[in-house]
């Protein structure tokens, strides 16, 4: 984005870049940069807090008056509460003949649909796998976890993109089951640590690594710190 900013500036368009990682925004040197010490994925800070978000935008637009390239720090920081645990009970088993993760995903569909409405359609699956196809996508990763070569398991697209849709499906469902905006990574921790689908994705990730899949294919099935 910093490179694009320089291209736009060369054509006479003023730009401001917002960054959440200080070393990154300083090393990429945008013409004007605002470093916001916020969790990744929340460039304007607090969800549902328009006053805070407007303060961020005002600080960013104020940089347009700076005559020289500059990077400044926004005056307020937000730190992820890594101890927060979401209280999102998964649905009871409905179909004992299905894998627990597949049965779970089907049972979460009503919550997922509510989450899509709550977010006005901003969140959800659909990058490569539609919500209707999440159970079958999980079945492909179950096959991988059980030993099928990942190239033969029927994963409906690039594994990391499919896994992103599965996680988005679950996190959108979680949005409908809590009464507040959770900490930035709380819903991801819930998915990986408390759901059957999360267990499948972690097992598939390990299986793909053991199968010598190209590093990007398995590494990005889950956040890198996992």
Average pLDDT, consecutive stretches of 10 residues, N- to C-terminus, the chain (226 residues): 78 86 84 86 81 92 82 85 75 91 96 91 88 97 97 96 96 86 80 95 96 92 80
Say whether both 115 and 210 belong to one domain. yes
Q: Is residue 37 part of a domain?
A: yes
Domain membership of residue 129 (yes or no) is: yes
Q: What is the pLDDT of residue 81?
A: 65
44 and 137: one domain? no
C-beta of residue 145 within 8 angstroms of C-beta of residue 203: yes
Of 16, 21, 22, residue with least CA distance to 1: 16
Contact assessment for residue 153 and residue 176, using Cβ atoms and an 8 Å cutoff: no
Q: Does the residue 82 lie in any domain?
A: no
Based on the domain organization, do 67 and 106 belong to the same domain? no
What's phi and psi for 45, nearest 5 deg?
Answer: 95, -110
Q: Are residues 67 and 105 in the same domain?
A: no
Residue at 110 is within a domain? yes
pLDDT, residue 82, reads 66
Residue 44 has what pLDDT?
86
Whole-structure pTM value: 0.76
Q: In which order are the strands placed within the sheet that holds 32-35?
A: 17-19, 32-35, 70-73
Q: How many CA atoms lie within 13 A of 109 on its CB side?
A: 11
Total tally of structural domains belonging to the chain: 2
Q: Are residues 161 and 211 in the same domain?
A: yes
Domain assignment of residue 175, given as a range: 100-219
Q: Is residue 51 located within the same domain as residue 123?
A: no
> What is the rounded distance in angstroms from the CA atom of residue 40 to the CA atom of residue 60?
18
Residue 91 lies in a domain: no
24-42 pLDDT per residue, tens:
888 888 888 898 988 877 8
> Does 146 share its domain with 191?
yes
Instruction: Answer yes or no: do 66 and 106 share one domain.
Output: no
DSSP string, 192-207: HHH-HHHHHHHHHHHH
Residues 212 and 125 in one domain: yes
CA-wise closest residue to 102 among 66, 141, 71, 75: 141
């Amino acid at each position: 984005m910093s490179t694009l900013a320089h291209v736009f500036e060369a054509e006479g368009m003023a730009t401001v870049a917002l960054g959440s990682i200080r070393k990154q925004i300083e090393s990429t040197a945008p013409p004007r940069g605002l470093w916001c010490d916020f969790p990744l994925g929340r460039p304007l800070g607090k969800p549902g807090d328009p006053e805070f978000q407007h303060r961020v935008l005002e600080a960013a637009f104020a940089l347009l008056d700076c005559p020289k390239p500059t990077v400044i720090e926004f005056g307020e920081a937000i730190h992820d509460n890594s101890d927060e645990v979401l209280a999102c009970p998964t649905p009871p088993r409905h179909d004992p003949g299905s894998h627990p993760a597949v049965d779970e995903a089907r049972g979460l569909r009503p919550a997922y649909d509510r989450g899509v409405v709550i977010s006005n359609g901003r969140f959800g699956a659909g990058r490569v796998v539609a919500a209707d196809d999440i159970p079958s996508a999980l079945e492909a990763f179950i096959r991988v976890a059980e030993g099928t070569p990942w190239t033969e398991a029927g994963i409906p697209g690039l594994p990391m993109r499919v896994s992103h849709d599965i996680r988005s499906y679950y996190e959108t469902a979680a949005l409908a089951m809590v009464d507040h905006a959770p900490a930035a990574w709380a819903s991801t921790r819930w998915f990986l640590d408390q759901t059957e689908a999360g267990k499948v994705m972690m097992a598939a990730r390990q299986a793909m690594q053991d199968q010598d899949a190209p590093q990007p294919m398995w590494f990005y099935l889950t956040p890198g710190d996992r």
